[in-house]
Chains A and B, each alone.
Chain A
Amino acid sequence: MDETIGTGSLCLESEATDTLKETVKRIKNLCVGHPAKKQAYIKQGIIPTLLKLIDRRDSELTWQICGTIGILANNNVAGAEQVASNSGLCTLLSLLSSDDERLVKQASLCILGALKSVERPAKIFLENIQLLESVCSLFCNPFASASLRECTCFILTSCLENAESEQIVDWFRISNFCFEKLKSCNLRDPRTLTPYLNVLKSLTMRNREIGKQFIEHNFVELLVEVMKGVDMTLKVIACRLYTNLMNFSLLQEDQASKDTAVIIMPFLNRMLSNRDRNIQLEGCKMLTQVVAIAEIYQQQAFDCNLVHCLIELGHNINISDVEAACILLQAVAAVCSLVEECRRLVIESRLFSLVVNSLDTSYPELRIAGLSALRSLSRSVRNLRASLAEAVLMEPLLRSLSDENKQVQIQALSTVCNLVLYFSPLKNSFLESNGLTTLLNLCHSNDKSLKYYAVWALKNLLFLSGSKMKKRIIDEIGMDYIFCLIEKGEDYSFQEQGINLLRNLTCTFSIECERENILDFIDEHCYRLVLCIQDSLQSPCMEVVLQALYVVCNFVVGSERHKQAICNSKIPKLLLNFLTNPSYLIRIATIWCIINLIWKETNDINDVSNLADYRRARIASFMEMGYEEMLEGLLADSNVEVRGRAEMALQLLRDRTISDFGDENDYEQVSRGILL
């Protein structure tokens, strides 16, 4: 053991104040610039010893002790942890209410240095409400010095980053104090605004009401002025605060759009182009937040060359720098989620390699970020058909579907939803790699999110699928599963996915091709399917109703048996009501159902004969129910397609001039000819 350490510790046991002061000062001087010595002292437990020596009656000694502890804890996790322990913080915080300004400043710096060096500074305060309340009171002291304000501001903003903090303190007391201070601040020195704007920035992350009050106090103009200023730290805070207000739709759209285009985007460009890594990453985080609000901001980011900035950043960030790579990939995911030009730039750059490589790392957070970016890039028919088809994606993606980390699984599933679409060459790779088995297993997951995305992926997989694929899926998952999704849907979102599955299953483009395969699985479940559609048509959720109408459209095509099954249920009465639905989408879908029900088929899946007789009977029934009058009423509908389709349906309903043995093509020509 180093002699000086031993000697120093012995001297701290002295009762002579002068000796103590000298010793504490010497320890501090020995540690400055000597990390090994610092570590040795910390290991020996010098910090708790020093904390015990704090005596408010002797300001000078206490001042020295705070300075020394500050040096020991600064940038040293072990030291900081010792300071930030419960009793240590209580002791130091109690010094902040001293009348001795010099002592308050030293204690503030000490606390700040320690808290910035621990991993989760907020945890200490969130577990000790009294401690947090005392910090709130210190912050709200109107006579607090700048250092005290800075210290308490740091604590509060750290706590507010954590969602748990919302319920535990009355934050309105803090926000009201900040509003008062902003009104009286010296605007010639904008730095005086920093602690208040900083706390308000953190408060408005999750608290809409405080955001609303910020606007009611007319501080938006102040914010815009600060954003136009030169102080980088303050600009970042102001931009974040502004973005929080945008997030809650508290600002007028036009003004927010203009301010973002003129001030925020160029500022972000400068941040991303800065040489300082911390500023670059902060810029990425802010960009992620802004562009997530609406598509227009993604377009603005493109127009302001921010995607190029991200690509440049990608050249300098190695995948081994996990934190930086995650932040960059999250920005890519956000900026590419809705704008095709952004996706194109990323896919054509080396940044795309970072996306692909991130899928295979051992860091789950990096895999999540990479998958999120890939999902955004795959939201494009063009990319799916071409650019993404070349990439080696399927193996790591399939591995991610079985990842032990649930968030990785969810992101992987979300991406698979896009990659299994009909026009994606990767669909074949997915199927050949046994991805379908994994997907079907996930459809039975007990986890609601996993199950939801798995069903979504299945729906997309069935989009324009041939009958072989449909049959395979039905054989493996069973029609019961789909009916249960709809009948006992946990919520409308599951019902909607289920009914969409049915829509895709029942969609056929060629009766001849579908004849053999559809027969089995749909006919077998015909009765239950009709009941399912009937119930869905009575759902209070209009999206479920709309999808159910499309199922009717599909279900009745080319099958007299199916048409009769529908007409023998309550569905025709429900259709009649939908003709006056406020939504033109519902009205159009309903008319299509009617058209398909009374269409003159010449081919039938079940080879039913006397199709003409059945059709006549059906039309007679529709006439009796009042369909003709209702459709006539729609000839004056405000929507052009409703009018046109209603006319088509009426012609079919009334048509007596075409022979029942006429050619289907002639029939089609007449139907179309009416409206040319």
Chain B
Amino acid sequence: MPANSLRSIYSPKPIFCSLLQAGQRFQGIQNSWKLIKDLDYWTVNVEIQNYEPEKGYICGSMEAIDVPRFDYPVITFWEGQVVDNIHYGFRTGCWDATEDDDLRHWSKFSAFRPFERMFERNRAREVALHPLEFVFMRWKERYFVNVSHNCGLTIAGFYYICMNRITGETQGYYFDPDSVPFQKLQLSPLPRFTTSSFAFQ
């Protein structure tokens, strides 16, 4: 559905996706190109721990296995913003990301193409995103769960994320001005759909 056709028809609504429910798990890899053309990559397991579509809030854990120089998995806790144009738009506005950084990273996803021009004209916020096949998010790691913060790894940056709501295939690009640019995250949901639930009292 073309982006500009979404402008006047719908008002934005929270984005529901069955693959973003608490307990859903994803597996994949993260890779980064070092300056000397070597490709580092490691296995990543992501678990969604809470998703509140009415707030555009998501959080979970990320387990990185076979990280270079580490003998054991490194687990972080992350919190995310769901780009729903109600609570969060495509412009980050924090975490040291400029609008140019936003455009450069979002443009890496083909699903973002219909919004590029609108973003440049500062009109991407006018679009209802809930009917789309893709969910855009930003994931920001907040702290290390099982290692100390001076372990040599950094979580200063955040991921620009694009997830296909149907297949669950997820791509992400890590942004941190002080790290190798465009480290790529690729995730797939577990083969079978099973679901557990909780509710805060």
A residues with a Cβ closer than 8 A to B are: 375, 378-379, 381-382, 385-386, 414-415, 417-418, 421-423, 453, 456, 459-460, 462-464, 500, 503-504, 506-509, 547, 550, 553-554, 557-558, 584-585, 588-589, 592, 595-596, 599, 639-641, 644-645, 647-648, 664, 668, 672, 675-676
Chain B nearest CB from A550 CB (Å) reads 5
Complex CA gap A463/B199 in Å reads 10
Chain B residue with the shortest CB-CB distance to A664: B191
Complex CA gap A664/B16 in Å reads 28
Chain B residue with the shortest CB-CB distance to A375: B201
> A463, A509, A596: which contacts B197 (Cβ < 8 A)?
A463
Chain A nearest CB from B143 CB (Å) reads 7
> B77, B169, B195: which contacts A382 (Cβ < 8 A)?
B77
Judging by beta carbons under 8 Å apart, are A641 and B190 in contact?
no
B59 within 8 Å of A by Cβ? yes
> B18, B143, B167, B198: which contacts A592 (Cβ < 8 A)?
B18
The 5 closest A-B pairs by CB, nearest first: A644-B166, A417-B201, A507-B196, A463-B198, A379-B200
* 26 pairs, CB–CB < 8 Å, chain A vs chain B: A381-B49, A381-B50, A381-B59, A381-B77, A382-B79, A418-B201, A422-B49, A459-B197, A460-B199, A462-B196, A463-B197, A464-B196, A503-B195, A503-B196, A509-B190, A554-B194, A592-B18, A596-B193, A640-B131, A644-B133, A644-B167, A645-B18, A647-B166, A672-B168, A672-B169, A676-B164
Chain A nearest CB from B164 CB (Å) reads 7
Complex CA gap A504/B164 in Å reads 26
Judging by beta carbons under 8 Å apart, are B199 and A456 in contact?
yes
B61 within 8 Å of A by Cβ? yes
> B77, B166, B188, B196: which contacts A645 (Cβ < 8 A)?
B166
Judging by beta carbons under 8 Å apart, are A641 and B200 in contact?
no
Knowing A463-B23, A464-B23 touch, does A379 contact B190 (C-beta < 8 A)? no
Judging by beta carbons under 8 Å apart, are A379 and B201 in contact?
yes
B22: which A residues are within 8 A, CB to CB? Answer: 463
Chain B residue with the shortest CB-CB distance to A599: B192
List 5 additional contacts besides A386-B143, A584-B16; criterion CB under 8 Å. Answer: A375-B201, A381-B77, A507-B194, A547-B197, A554-B194
Chain B nearest CB from A56 CB (Å) reads 60
A379: which B residues are within 8 A, CB to CB? Answer: 200-201
A547: which B residues are within 8 A, CB to CB? Answer: 197
Judging by beta carbons under 8 Å apart, are A500 and B197 in contact?
yes
> B49, B59, B165: which contacts A640 (Cβ < 8 A)?
B165
Q: How many residues of B contact A (CB 8 A)?
A: 37
> A378, A421, A463, A641: which contacts B16 (Cβ < 8 A)?
A641
Complex CA gap A543/B140 in Å reads 33
Chain A residue with the shortest CB-CB distance to B165: A641
B193: which A residues are within 8 A, CB to CB? Answer: 553, 557, 592, 595-596
Chain A nearest CB from B152 CB (Å) reads 21
Chain A nearest CB from B179 CB (Å) reads 24
Complex CA gap A639/B132 in Å reads 9
Knowing A381-B49, A386-B143, A648-B166 touch, does A588 contact B18 (C-beta < 8 A)? yes
Complex CA gap A553/B195 in Å reads 8
| Interface membership of chain B positions 135-159, coded 1 if the CB is closer than 8 angstroms to chain A and 0 otherwise | 0000000110100000000000000
Complex CA gap A508/B191 in Å reads 12
Judging by beta carbons under 8 Å apart, are A641 and B49 in contact?
no
B25 within 8 Å of A by Cβ? yes
Complex CA gap A386/B133 in Å reads 35
B65 within 8 Å of A by Cβ? no
B190: which A residues are within 8 A, CB to CB? Answer: 509
Judging by beta carbons under 8 Å apart, are B164 and A675 in contact?
yes
| Interface membership of chain B positions 4-39, coded 1 if the CB is closer than 8 angstroms to chain A and 0 otherwise | 000000000000111000110100000000000000
Best-surrounded residue of A386, A423, A554 (most CB of chain B within 10 A): A423
Chain B residue with the shortest CB-CB distance to A675: B166
Chain B residue with the shortest CB-CB distance to A592: B193
Judging by beta carbons under 8 Å apart, are B194 and A644 in contact?
no
Chain B nearest CB from A653 CB (Å) reads 16
A414: which B residues are within 8 A, CB to CB? Answer: 201
Complex CA gap A130/B165 in Å reads 68
A464: which B residues are within 8 A, CB to CB? Answer: 23, 196
Judging by beta carbons under 8 Å apart, are A415 and B201 in contact?
yes
Q: Which secondary structure characterizes the binding site on chain B?
A: loop
Complex CA gap A553/B23 in Å reads 14
Best-surrounded residue of B49, B143, B167, B192 (most CB of chain A within 10 A): B192
Chain A nearest CB from B80 CB (Å) reads 12
B197: which A residues are within 8 A, CB to CB? Answer: 459, 463, 500, 503-504, 547, 550
Chain A residue with the shortest CB-CB distance to B21: A550
Judging by beta carbons under 8 Å apart, are A509 and B194 in contact?
yes
Knowing A456-B201, A641-B166 touch, does A557 contact B192 (C-beta < 8 A)? yes
| Interface membership of chain B positions 44-86, coded 1 if the CB is closer than 8 angstroms to chain A and 0 otherwise | 0000011000000001010000000000000001010000000
Chain B residue with the shortest CB-CB distance to A588: B18
Judging by beta carbons under 8 Å apart, are A421 and B198 in contact?
yes
Best-surrounded residue of B17, B164, B165, B201 (most CB of chain A within 10 A): B201
Judging by beta carbons under 8 Å apart, are B191 and A668 in contact?
yes
Knowing A382-B79, A675-B166, A676-B167 touch, does A463 contact B196 (C-beta < 8 A)? yes
Chain A nearest CB from B85 CB (Å) reads 16
Chain B nearest CB from A564 CB (Å) reads 18
Chain B residue with the shortest CB-CB distance to A644: B166
Chain B nearest CB from A220 CB (Å) reads 28
Complex CA gap A647/B17 in Å reads 16
A421: which B residues are within 8 A, CB to CB? Answer: 198
> B17, B79, B198: which contacts A641 (Cβ < 8 A)?
B17
Judging by beta carbons under 8 Å apart, are A550 and B195 in contact?
yes
Knowing A381-B49, A557-B192, A676-B167 touch, does A460 contact B145 (C-beta < 8 A)? no
Complex CA gap A647/B50 in Å reads 28
Knowing A509-B25, A595-B193, A599-B192 touch, does A589 contact B167 (C-beta < 8 A)? no
B200: which A residues are within 8 A, CB to CB? Answer: 378-379, 417-418
Judging by beta carbons under 8 Å apart, are B23 and A558 in contact?
no
Judging by beta carbons under 8 Å apart, are B142 and A382 in contact?
yes
B201: which A residues are within 8 A, CB to CB? Answer: 375, 379, 414-415, 417-418, 453, 456
A415: which B residues are within 8 A, CB to CB? Answer: 201
Complex CA gap A509/B169 in Å reads 18
Knowing A507-B194, A595-B193 touch, does A385 contact B77 (C-beta < 8 A)? yes
Chain A nearest CB from B137 CB (Å) reads 16
Complex CA gap A509/B24 in Å reads 9
Knowing A418-B201, A464-B23 touch, does A641 contact B18 (C-beta < 8 A)? yes
Complex CA gap A379/B131 in Å reads 30
Complex CA gap A358/B67 in Å reads 45
Judging by beta carbons under 8 Å apart, are B192 and A558 in contact?
yes
Complex CA gap A664/B200 in Å reads 37
Chain A residue with the shortest CB-CB distance to B166: A644
Judging by beta carbons under 8 Å apart, are A557 and B79 in contact?
no
Judging by beta carbons under 8 Å apart, are A459 and B194 in contact?
no
Complex CA gap A222/B200 in Å reads 41
Complex CA gap A34/B123 in Å reads 77
Chain A residue with the shortest CB-CB distance to B23: A464
A668: which B residues are within 8 A, CB to CB? Answer: 191
Chain A residue with the shortest CB-CB distance to B18: A588
Judging by beta carbons under 8 Å apart, are B194 and A385 in contact?
no
Complex CA gap A154/B49 in Å reads 52
| Interface membership of chain B positions 114-146, coded 1 if the CB is closer than 8 angstroms to chain A and 0 otherwise | 000000000000000001110000000011010
Judging by beta carbons under 8 Å apart, are B59 and A676 in contact?
no
